Amino acid sequence: MIPTKKLSIGLITATVIAACGSGNSPVPTPQDQQAETVQKSTMKNDLLQEWTGPYGGVPAFDEMKLEDLQPAMETAMASHLQEVLMISANPAPPTFENTVLAMQKSGEELDRVFTYYGIWSSNMSSPEFREIQQRLAPKISEYSSKISQNKELFERVKSVYENSLKNPLSPQKQRAVQLMYEDFAMEGADLNEADKARYAEINKELSRLYTRFSNNVLAEEENYVVYLEEDELSGLPESYVKAAAKAAADRGEEGKYAVLNTRSSMDPFLTYSDERELRKQVWKNYYSRGDNDDEYDNKEIIEEILKLRDERVELLGYDNYAQWRLQNRMAKTPERAMELMEAVWPAALARVEEEVADMQALAKAEGKDIVIAPWDYRYYAEKVRQQKYDLESDEVKQYLQLNKLTEALLYTADRIFNYKFTPVPEGTVPVYHEDVKVWEVTDKDSGKHIGLWYLDPYARKGKRSGAWASQYRSHTEMDEKEETVLASNNSNFIKPAPGEPVLISWDDATTFFHEFGHALHFFASEVKYPILNSGVRDYTEFQSQLLERWLSTDEVINRFLVHHETGEPIPQELVAKIKKASTFNQGFATTEFLASALMDMKLHTTDPEEIDMDTFEKETLDELNMPSQIVMRHRTPHFGHVFSGEGYATGYYGYLWADVLTSDAAEAFREAPGGFYDKTVAEKLVKYLFAPRNAMDPAEAYRLFRGRDATIDALMRDRGFPVPSENQQ
């Protein structure tokens, strides 16, 4: 989805949506190639206007008209290209100011339009919008390559970069030049004309294949529905049965119950259904997506993608795709990413053996003569969980009220970031829906205005699923003019009847903290140039993952986790159970994740001529000693992170990389005298790990915070795995 990712060269900064792996990202389908019906209006287009009003100007969300979108996008892209042309054709010798800074200041109008585009795409989509989105997609890609392939512009950036190596600029300028230069170079700006033409051809072909790949997965999700009869519901929770009845009715199968071929339908079914044969069927449908040897099969498409990616990076002089992709990640090389994964893998496998033994014993005690199969894992794990931890998720929910958790977020921001959140007076800041609430964020001591926080908590038609954070304007300080942050958090809680509390699960509460972590990362920015706000794939989830840890601190528990009827804080025994259960089933979770992450890396470090997708996955897993009871979290033929686009290609390991940092940083707090509210550690956290964004090499920033590099010990402890360094003692 275009506006959810930063376009090349750090141009579009206002619409970066943090990718959190939750929720389905809508994929534009290109079949609609109908004639354009753009109104060439000369009237004032609201989407192009400067943001006016309080707080440094705010988006006119109350003036959004869909018919303005396409003309606004086209106008804004055209005028940005005009600005870029002025910069690249400048007869004056290239300098930081007339090239890098000028580029950073350009495209403001387009930034604004993209904010509205992002709202339509994520918060209030419609068939009409998706038509416009499909018409715009090729135009946006053309616009983007006109900049990334601008030879004169690249020569100027290169010249500024090379001069800076001889005569260093200030640190932030230096970093901005370096990132801009690398973005261009990585996208082939330095190639000769023939190679450049081939490069562009490959990209076009790849984008066609990515769309085919994701459309095939979508088709496979829609084409396999398992309909249950009344007597096949044993074990399923009432809420699941209700949703399944509705899903069946929606598909014209009134009176039956539909198990859809999606993760949110499959996962609970495999966890609760007592019907083993049906579990096998549902499991098989889900994990065969894209691998049914029919018109929707993705195996050949994957082979083509891998070959094209390999050819493209060869033009740039790299051995393989992973080497090219990881050069500006924190891991830097595929070898270092592999090293981390291989360090964790054996412990995960050993834990799987224990988990399977527990489940096998339980099945036997129930008189079932079975060997645990992949479609049994979730089912028996749940039984073991209930037996070992006696933890009822419904009991926990009674203490997790959405409004109290919102207060808990603001409390954490106050204690760690010294931020004060004040609701803005109703009607002073425009919103696109009445459910969206807005707070002003200020520094608690100085009262300095930092930004606005928009919260859009409830599910509704046209809103994408899952939870995410985005920003409408990022912090910058160009020409001494300071731009303040406009950030938002978005969730899909069910809106309650008036006066009723919204009770949510522990997982959802964790996600709520996670997304708020992204927002705090936006607010904390102290960078001068937009490009320094860009994310580093294996680093940018770390800050938000770390923030999750404050949910289970005593301060938050005692103040905000109170029973919705009695107001009593959550009992200590229940908290102890939650904490104890956190290492449960980590063998399964780590193994299914790592198998996908390892496969991602092996696919992109092996010569694609040697990859036959009929055998590669199986052979690779055999070599890894993959347990027979577990399947990859995302099997290759439907691994959308890696093959619906390039966002996570050779980047799936990034979740684990960020987890290592998270566990290690959390230990820094745990070891401190003030624990998670220790003033000194909190100050260091904000100063080194949040405020610099990408203005500093992440590895260096982490060393400044911790006094050393992160090690995997804390992660192993958090997952209940043996710690390698302790074993050697």
Task: Please say which residue, 541 or 718, places its beta carbon nearer to Zn ion.
Answer: 541
Q: Quick check: helix, strand or coil at residue 153?
A: helix
Amino acid (one-letter) located at 466 = G
How far, in whole angstroms, is CA 492 from its chain's centroid?
A: 16
16, 20, 84, 452: residue in contact with Zn ion (rule CB under 5 A): 20
Q: How far is the CB of 543 from Zn ion (least distance, A)?
A: 9
Question: What is the contact mask toward Zn ion in residues 525 to 564, using x (rule: CB under 5 A)?
Answer: ----------------x--x--------------------
Task: Please say which residue, 20 or 72, places its beta carbon nearer to Zn ion.
Answer: 20
Q: How far is the CB of 541 from Zn ion (least distance, A)?
A: 5
Distance CA 622, CA 628 (A): 10
Judged by CB under 5 A, the stretch of 18-26, 406-414, 588-596, 674-682 that binds Zn ion is 18-26
Q: How far is the CB of 515 from Zn ion (least distance, A)?
A: 7
Going by C-alpha positions, the residue among 595, 511, 472, 561 that lies closest to residue 51 is 472
Q: How far is the CB of 662 from Zn ion (least distance, A)?
A: 11
The residues, any chain, with a CB within 8 Å of residue 566's CB and separated by 6 or more, are: none
Binding-site residue total for Zn ion (CB under 5 A)? 4
Q: How far is the CB of 487 from Zn ion (least distance, A)?
A: 13
Distance CA 383, CA 378 (A): 9
Task: Please say which residue, 150 or 491, places its beta carbon nearer to Zn ion.
Answer: 491
| Residue 189 binds Zn ion (CB under 5 A) | no
Going by C-alpha positions, the residue among 518, 443, 430, 374 that lies closest to residue 115 is 430
Whole-number CA gyration radius for the chain: 26
For residue 169, give Cα distances in angstroms to 96, 156, 165, 176, 693: 9, 16, 9, 10, 19
Task: Please say which residue, 20 or 248, places its beta carbon nearer to Zn ion.
Answer: 20
Enumerate residues 396-425 that contact Zn ion by CB under 5 A. none
Task: Please say which residue, 544 or 629, places its beta carbon nearer to Zn ion.
Answer: 544
Task: Report whether 685 contacts 705 (CB < 8 A).
Answer: yes
Judged by CB under 5 A, the stretch of 17-25, 60-68, 484-492, 527-535 that binds Zn ion is 17-25
Q: How far is the CB of 535 from Zn ion (least distance, A)?
A: 10
Enumerate residues 288-307 that contact Zn ion by CB under 5 A. none
Q: Quick check: helix, strand or coil at residue 459?
A: coil
Task: Please say which residue, 289 or 514, places its beta carbon nearer to Zn ion.
Answer: 514
Judged by CB under 5 A, the stretch of 12-20, 375-383, 394-402, 606-614 that binds Zn ion is 12-20
Distance CA 444, CA 442 (A): 6
Q: How far is the CB of 22 from Zn ion (least distance, A)?
A: 8
Amino acid (one-letter) located at 458 = Y
Going by C-alpha positions, the residue among 187, 28, 149 that lies closest to residue 645 is 28
Task: Please say which residue, 345 or 539, places its beta carbon nearer to Zn ion.
Answer: 539
Task: Please say which residue, 14 or 19, places its beta carbon nearer to Zn ion.
Answer: 19
Task: Please say which residue, 15 or 629, places its beta carbon nearer to Zn ion.
Answer: 15
Instruction: Name the residue whose CB lies closest to Zn ion.
Output: 20
Task: Please say which residue, 18 or 381, places its beta carbon nearer to Zn ion.
Answer: 18
Q: String of b and e for 580-614 (b: at least 16 CB within 10 Å)?
A: eeeebbbbbbbbbbbbbbbbbbbbbbbebeebebe
Report helix, strand and coil shares of the chain as percent, to nearest 5: 55, 10, 35
Per-residue tokens: 10? 């750090």
The residues, any chain, with a CB within 8 Å of residue 73's CB and separated by 6 or more, are: 110, 113, 117, 136, 139, 140
Task: Please say which residue, 21 or 168, places its beta carbon nearer to Zn ion.
Answer: 21
Helix 377-389 with 572-581: angle, nearest 10 deg: 150
Distance CA 121, CA 119 (A): 5
Task: Please say which residue, 318 or 493, places its beta carbon nearer to Zn ion.
Answer: 493
Other Cβ atoms less than 10 A from the Cβ of 288: the count is 17
Task: Please say which residue, 404 or 514, places its beta carbon nearer to Zn ion.
Answer: 514
Q: How far is the CB of 123 from Zn ion (least distance, A)?
A: 17
Q: How far is the CB of 140 from Zn ion (least distance, A)?
A: 24
CB-count burial class (<10 Å; 0-12, 13-18, 19+) for 92:
exposed
Task: Please say which residue, 121 or 261, places its beta carbon nearer to Zn ion.
Answer: 121
Distance CA 416, CA 685 (A): 9
Per-residue tokens: 381? 């794990």
Judged by CB under 5 A, the stretch of 20-28, 32-40, 416-424, 444-452 that binds Zn ion is 20-28
Going by C-alpha positions, the residue among 641, 544, 476 that lies closest to residue 23 is 641
The answer to whether the Cα torsion of 595, 600, 605, 607 is positive or negative is positive
Task: Please say which residue, 83 or 659, places its beta carbon nearer to Zn ion.
Answer: 659
Q: How far is the CB of 524 from Zn ion (least distance, A)?
A: 15
Judged by CB under 5 A, the stretch of 16-24, 108-116, 565-573, 594-602 that binds Zn ion is 16-24
Task: Please say which residue, 18 or 715, places its beta carbon nearer to Zn ion.
Answer: 18
Judged by CB under 5 A, the stretch of 14-22, 235-243, 484-492, 573-581 that binds Zn ion is 14-22
- Supply the DSSP string of 636-687, one letter for each residue: GGG-HHHHSSSTTTTTTTHHHHHHHHHHHHHHHHHHSTTGGG-HHHHHHIII
Task: Report whether 259 contacts 235 (CB < 8 A).
Answer: no
What is the DSSP pairing of strand 481-483 with strand 476-478? antiparallel
Q: String of b and e for 622-631 (b: at least 16 CB within 10 Å)?
A: eebebbebbb
Task: Please say which residue, 20 or 402, places its beta carbon nearer to Zn ion.
Answer: 20
Distance CA 380, CA 181 (A): 53
Q: How far is the CB of 467 from Zn ion (least distance, A)?
A: 9
CB-count burial class (<10 Å; 0-12, 13-18, 19+) for 331:
buried
Q: Which residues bind Zn ion (CB under 5 A)?
A: 18, 20, 541, 544
